[in-house]
Structure 1
């Protein structure tokens, strides 16, 4: 990472989409940065660009103008293979639905992304066990997703997102499918684990109670990222 640069930085980012004869401007000069160890809530109504912002930050889409820096590297200067490598190593994703591989155990779901990134099976298993243990799943390592509760599945998904020790975590309503009590417990574990790992996290949520437990809250207004 470049000295002094935050793990995730957006500079003058612009993004538009064509819909028939109309042009829809979603982001218009968006500026944003998250420091290492900082957890930021993104609160925005549907249709205002929340998903677009997460996709751009995660290098799943490219901006029409401006720059997205991940780990101090300008994604605009990368080819597809380089962007894929950055996503694998520097960015963890957590979605509202867990998207676990049903034929693999909890441990194996956390081991697989590490093997893809070149870590040895022994190292990957040890890290998977450590992460799952931190989420209270040490006794569920060999269970298939179908044998896990909703909260346990989402804990595994979060552990998987952190498996390759990313500098950035992007989460879209990570506890949105859970009941209130389970959501609170899982969210507390997520915050604790992310802070301990020093990850820069951007977490989209509609839940203002959850947003209030993060370090700061931002939203989208007229295509820009604003403090709330």
Structure 2
């Protein structure tokens, strides 16, 4: 009796993973909607203003784009929103990015010391994706966190997508401010996408723990 081969696409379907998310400075939206999400290495060659979340890619992979599965890394987003006087938006992507692009799956923030010791080529198989949804040492159990099948066990888990993510994979843009939505909605509509408004500190701009446990 042979083994049943499970693909990344099948895992996404079984877990009802409906979207990926990437938070960015709102000033990037016009170029993102036109060209898609580009890697730090690709952006460096463009003659356009860039407003990175941090000055260096501590994960050591400037040729990748970081995305979260089903919910943003709320800890990092909260940190950046507090430290700098900037506005952020959430770019939502179709989950097919995970099986149409070279993608490495990290069960924790790819920039932390343990994760940086892992080579991305060893994290691209379906079992690496499935590992993001298993109980982990040092992280509250999935049951305690009231997680849905689509939620990674660690909210800081991420997928590094190697290469550009073209606009066709963008599904919607989430704002937390009505004025920003109105300001950037012409770009969003021109690109054939739609805008969504979440609360200033709720939805994708809030705490996953609070959302699921209250």
Q: TM-score, length-normalised on structure 2?
A: 0.29
Greater share of residues in strand: 1
Q: TM-score, length-normalised on structure 1?
A: 0.28
